[in-house]
Copies of this chain bind each other. A is one copy, B any other.
Amino acid sequence: MEELITVLGEIKALFNRSLGELSIDCVVFGFHDDQLKVLLLRAKGTDAWSLPGGWIFKTEHLEDAAYRILKERTGLDSIFLQQFHTFGANNRYNGKEIMARLGLPTEHNFFPERAVSIGYYALVEYSLVEPKMDYMTEECRWWDVNEIPELLFDHNEIAARALKALRKQFDNEALGFNLLPEKFTLIELQRLYETILGLEKNKLDRRNFQKKILSYGFLERLEERKTGGAHKAPYLYRFDPEKYATYQHENEV
């Protein structure tokens, strides 16, 4: 009971500092073992999963809030955080239902009658993540994108739309280098693309893929080759962050 009062007090204090009608939800993607994963949180003492998210302080820039929330909830200084859509259905959630689902007293419903949520997605290197708990969270772990459970609020819709946006951006642009080790082969890069795009192995034409990816101009071929494979050792590449930044700047929307 004392714990509950502390939780409600912290939430109230947070609300008083924040814009009341707006929230941020983050869809954090990680790549591991040829699988695309998404980071989900489970609320204390419940089986209710949701996306990491939070509120925007009254004087805080929207982008700053997104980075802060991602860091608070996941310990990550994200390399890549992309706003993709704002969710504003007038029936996104029922505050009292969510309170009940969280095992909290419904008469203390702290959710505003309505909140519009701004969706961001992040791409992170799986191994760097140190999920952080807070006073509401008991578990924070990776789920395969194909096995996302039923989430609170409209978070299943937000996650689905983030995946679509990510795939579209991968298809049209250069992305994803922060999901790979520092040095990688073009085959490894192709495998990443195929996984993100939900394609079978070797579905992308190798020659076209390599031509396209090299045409962006920010991949640097190293003198080193990758050893240990059955075939002729392929060259290793790394990406040039400066040229990448220039490219991103020229192509950002």
B88-A252 in contact (CB<8A): no
Q: Is A168 an interface residue (CB 8 A)?
A: yes
**Count of chain A residues with Cβ under 8 Å from any Cβ of B?**
32
Closest to A58 in B: B114
Q: Is A63 an interface residue (CB 8 A)?
A: yes
Closest to A91 in B: B61
0 or 1 for each of A211-238: is its CB under 8 Å from B? (1 = yes): 0000000000000000000000000000
A89-B61 in contact (CB<8A): yes
Q: Is A62 an interface residue (CB 8 A)?
A: yes
A21 cross-chain contacts in B, Cβ below 8 A: 19-22
B253-A88 in contact (CB<8A): no
Stretch among A2-10, A79-87, A174-182, A192-200 lining the B interface:
A79-87
A158 cross-chain contacts in B, Cβ below 8 A: none
Q: Is A165 an interface residue (CB 8 A)?
A: yes
B89-A86 in contact (CB<8A): no
Closest to A115 in B: B19
A60 cross-chain contacts in B, Cβ below 8 A: 90
Q: Is A69 an interface residue (CB 8 A)?
A: no
A86-B253 in contact (CB<8A): no
B62-A116 in contact (CB<8A): yes
B83-A86 in contact (CB<8A): yes
0 or 1 for each of A3-27: is its CB under 8 Å from B? (1 = yes): 0000000000000000111100000
Closest to A61 in B: B90
0 or 1 for each of A144-172: is its CB under 8 Å from B? (1 = yes): 00000000000000000100110010001
Q: Is A56 an interface residue (CB 8 A)?
A: yes
A171 to nearest B CB, angstroms?
8
Q: Is A202 an interface residue (CB 8 A)?
A: no
Sorted from nearest, which 4 A-B pairs have the closest CB atoms? A62-B88, A165-B253, A86-B86, A61-B90
